[in-house]
Structure 1
Amino acid sequence: MGRQGNSSARGTAAGSSSVRKPSAAVYRRRRLAAGGALLLAIVLVVSGFALAGAFRGGSQQASSTQPSSTDSASAASAGAPSASAPATPSASPTPTVAPTPTCNQNLVTVTAATDKPSYGPGENPLLTLKVTNGGTVPCEVNIGTSQMEFLVTSGADRIFSSKDCQASSEDLVKVIAPGASETANFPWGRNRSADGCKAVAAAPGGGGAYYIFTAKLGSRASPKAVFQLN
């Protein structure tokens, strides 16, 4: 019995001495694994606190419409704008200015007239050009000699034009009030004229012949004014 017990004890000791210890590499891997697990646990704890704070802040912002005095003071100390202050300054309204009415040049008319319906021998007709603003607002109109023409005809015969021997041509712009008129007079010497102020020997006939006076201002032409020369 004593020998068998000793043999068993020696076998156990020999068996325990035959167990190999872990190498240094195994120890390093175990330490790295333990350290990684600890770091992961710390990250999860910190993330949990951050998520909890975010959800608490979101629920508070959604449920409240006015910032508390504590929140306003904290925002002011942090340099953040207060929620109650306007983001941009309000602009004062600009007064509306009514547009200036535009003159309708189509309502500016030209008429022709003579001082008498008929003239005896030796009487010279006075031809009158009249410009009238028939609109409701003032109109600027060029009534200079560059625009005017006093034209006398008899049927298809062109008797006289004030432009044929016109010495000078100039512009004269005037503002004509609504309903107002401007007039220009031209004494006609009962003579003929030709383009370029060429000399014309013949004179218009008398003896009760009828003539037509047309007043022109630029592209505007008046209705015909009929008169008689005796």
Structure 2
Amino acid sequence: MGKQGTSSARGKASASGSSSVRKPSSAVYRRRRLVVGGALLMVLAMVVGGFALAGAFTGGSEQASSTDPASGAASAVPSAPPTESASASAAPTPTASATPSCNQNLVTVSASTDKAAYGPDENPLLTLKVTNGGEVPCQVNIGTSQMEFLVTSGPDRVFSSRDCQAASEDLVKVIAPGASETANFPWPRNRSVEGCQVVDAKPGAGGAYYIFTAKLGSKASPKAVFQLN
């Protein structure tokens, strides 16, 4: 009986010793759940906040401008549309097609010869010059359909490049402000009539004076005087 009592006493002691490791109470479990739940909420808040900031910056300047200046955080309220003054400042610059049209009255025609007087065996070189005297580029038709080299002597119509012109064509060119286009015509000192009929007579010599007028469409140059010897 003594041994059995001792053994039972030891078993009770060991049982009581093992029972000293108590299970966590329900209050402890509740506290642990609160801690874990709070951590999860913090992680979710960080993830959601990260997407909000990313959206604010990847959306361009309009979303970035919605940042609250007081807190530095991105606001969910979309930014207001630009004001009239802002949209005006962002308007595109005028293109070349929006530039004012040129003043055709500032496009002038002039006539000149390479010499003031010519010997019996020299042929005059007649030059027609078109100049844009305006401040913007001008489109001008400088084709043979528009130009004429006219030589007269008093009331006498001596020669015209149109009389025997086989074909004519348009040639539209853009002349820059202050720039010029020229065309040269070597005149073989012959007479011509409309229809290109044969004319046996030749212009007189012996120091006679002639007038060269350059024409382009409805524009005519000032007179250029030269002498044939």
**Does TM-score exceed 0.5, indicating one fold?**
yes
The alpha carbon displacement at 1:144 in A equals 0.3
Q: Counterparts of 2:125 and 2:92 in 1: how far apart (Å)?
A: 51
Q: Counterparts of 2:150 and 2:214 in 1: how far apart (Å)?
A: 6
Query: C-alpha deviations, 1:119-174, integer Å up to 9, x for none?
Result: 01011000000000001111111000000000000000000000000011000011
Structure-to-structure mapping, 1:188-227, within 5 angstroms: 188-227=187-226
**In the alignment, which residue of structure 1 is the partner of 2:150?**
151
What is the RMSD computed on CA atoms of the aligned residues? 1.8
Secondary structure, counterpart of 2:174 in structure 1: strand
**In the alignment, which residue of structure 1 is the partner of 2:180?**
181
- Letter paired with 2:108: T
Query: C-alpha deviations, 1:63-111, integer Å up to 9, x for none?
Result: xxxxxxxxxxxxxxxxxxxxxx99xx84773615433121111100000
Secondary structure, counterpart of 1:151 in structure 2: strand
Structure-2-length-normalised TM-score: 0.60
Secondary structure, counterpart of 1:183 in structure 2: strand
Structure-to-structure mapping, 1:114-153, within 5 angstroms: 114-153=113-152
Q: Counterparts of 2:175 and 2:204 in 1: how far apart (Å)?
A: 39
Q: Counterparts of 1:141 and 1:102 in 2: how far apart (Å)?
A: 12
Aligned residues: 144
Query: C-alpha deviations, 1:3-27, integer Å up to 9, x for none?
Result: xxxxxxxxxxxxxxxxxxxxxxxxx
Q: Counterparts of 1:91 and 1:203 in 2: how far apart (Å)?
A: 79
Structure-1-length-normalised TM-score: 0.60
Q: Counterparts of 1:165 and 1:90 in 2: how far apart (Å)?
A: 70
Q: Counterparts of 2:99 and 2:177 in 1: how far apart (Å)?
A: 15
**In the alignment, which residue of structure 1 is the partner of 2:32?**
none
If you compute each CA radius of gyration, which structure gives the higher value, 1 or 2?
1
- Structure 1 residue runs of 4+, over 6 Å off? none
- Letter paired with 1:174: K
Name structure 2 gaps, 5 residues minimum: 1-76
Q: Counterparts of 1:166 and 1:91 in 2: how far apart (Å)?
A: 64
Q: Counterparts of 1:146 and 1:97 in 2: how far apart (Å)?
A: 38
Secondary structure, counterpart of 2:151 in structure 1: strand
